[in-house]
A and B are shown apart, each in its own frame.
Chain A
Amino acid sequence: MELTDILKALINGLVYGSVYAIIAQGYYITFITTKTLNFGQGDFVMLGSLIGLSTFITITATGGSVWIAFIASLLLVIVILGICGWGLEQVAIRPLKSWHSIGWILSTVAVSMIVRNVAMLIWGRDVLMAPSPFGRAILDLGIMKIRYHDIFVLVSAVVIMLLLYVFLKKSLFGKALEAVAFNRDAASLMGINPRLMASIAFIIAGILAGVGGVLVGPMVHPGAFIGLFLGLKAFAVAIIGGIENPRGIFIGGLLLGVLENLFTLYSTSMKEAAAFFLILVILAVLPQGLFGKRVKEKF
Chain B
Amino acid sequence: MQPFSPVLLEAVGLPTGHTLASYKSRGGYAPLEAILGGKKPADVVDMVKASGLRGRGGAGFSTGLKWTFLPKDHPGPIYLCINADESEPGTFNNRILMEDDPHQVIEGTILSAFATRASTAYIYLRYEYPHSWDRLQTAIDEAYTAGYLGKNLKGSGFSLDIYLHRGAAAYICGEETGLIESLEGKRAWPRIKPPFPAVEGLFKKPTVVNNIETMACVAQIARRGVDWFRSIGVPADPNNPRDPGSYGPKLYCLSGHVEKPGCYEAPLGITARQLIDGPGGGVWKGRKAKAAIPGGISMGLLTEAELDTPLDFSGPGKAGCLGLGTAAVVVIDETVSIVDFLHNSCRFFAHESCGQCTPCREGTSWSLQMLERIKAGKGRLRDLDLLLEIGTSMGMMPGSTICGLADGAAWPIKNAIQKFRGEFEDYIRQTNPTGWMVTEPVSRLAIVATH
A binds B: no
A residues neighboring B (CB under 8 Å):
none
B residues neighboring A (CB under 8 Å):
none
